[in-house]
């Protein structure tokens, strides 16, 4: 696992992409009652999401002078703890097993009163593309916006849609064509790196696309 992760990071950097090693960041999350992942849920916790967002913000601030005015980043809400059945328990366990496992504790932030609902649709210098790991419920985009003190926009789909299709969905959107961001943060699960855009059985059928077609559509979108 470690060798594979190191190989992925090296290949991304050789391709000219900024790849962030989140292992030290995630290890730092494990303090007191804080955990990296939920007990019966596929996702990382909000503590991990915020720690990762902070690490990403440091890299961006060190290399990019973002447009926009200070004071436009998200404000973070108060922490609350909720009890929900984890997604793994919901998907794979019988009702009897679910009862035995019980709900997980989800410690997340409640959006401030002036920030209820979806993230702003206004153009932002940073855009996040990913799956449910970066959904607003777990706080990654809000923390990134807060740490950068700039607006952050978001495109995300559930995991079975696939990162390749989701990325194309964003770069092919009117918003990207009208005002591309300075930085795109592409969240991509390490365990899915071996699966290309044509990975039948990994992604939903409508998300499947031949690699060359994916590259052609990417090139066309960026060239606009």
Where do the structural domains in the chain lie, given as residue ranges?
Answer: 2-223
Structure tokens belonging to residue 101: 């496992």
Q: What does the alpha-carbon distance between residue 27 and residue 117 come to, in Å, rounded to a whole number?
A: 31
Report residues of the chain scoring pLDDT below 70: 1, 114-122
The whole-number pLDDT of residue 122 equals: 55
Q: What angle do CA 25, 70, 150 make, to 5 degrees?
A: 50
63 in Cβ contact with 72 (< 8 Å): no
Q: What does the pLDDT read at residue 40?
A: 81
- Tell me the C-alpha distance between 212 and 214, whole Å: 5
Average pLDDT of the chain is: 91
Position 86 scores a pLDDT of: 86
Note the pLDDT of residue 53.
98
- Residue pair 134/154 in contact (Cβ under 8 Å)? The answer is yes
């Amino acid at each position: 696992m470690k060798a594979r992760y190191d190989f992925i990071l090296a290949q991304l950097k050789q391709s000219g992409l900024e790849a962030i090693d989140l292992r030290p960041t995630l290890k730092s999350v494990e303090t007191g009652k804080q955990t990296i992942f939920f007990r019966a849920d596929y996702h990382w916790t909000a503590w991990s999401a915020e720690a990762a967002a902070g690490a990403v913000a440091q890299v961006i601030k060190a290399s990019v002078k973002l447009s926009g005015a200070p004071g436009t980043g998200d404000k973070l809400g108060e922490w609350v703890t909720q009890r929900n059945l984890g997604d793994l328990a919901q998907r794979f366990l019988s009702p009897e097993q679910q009862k035995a496992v019980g709900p997980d504790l989800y410690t997340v932030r409640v959006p401030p009163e002036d920030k209820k609902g979806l993230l702003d649709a206004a153009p932002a210098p940073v855009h996040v593309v990913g799956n449910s790991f970066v959904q607003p419920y777990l706080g990654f985009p809000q923390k990134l916006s807060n740490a950068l003190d700039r607006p952050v926009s978001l495109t995300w789909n559930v995991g079975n849609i696939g990162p390749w299709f989701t990325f194309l969905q964003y770069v092919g959107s009117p918003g990207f064509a009208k005002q591309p961001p300075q930085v795109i943060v592409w969240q991509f699960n390490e365990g899915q790196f071996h699966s290309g855009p044509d990975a039948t059985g990994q992604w939903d059928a409508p998300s499947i696309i031949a690699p060359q077609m994916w590259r052609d559509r990417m090139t066309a979108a960026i060239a606009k």
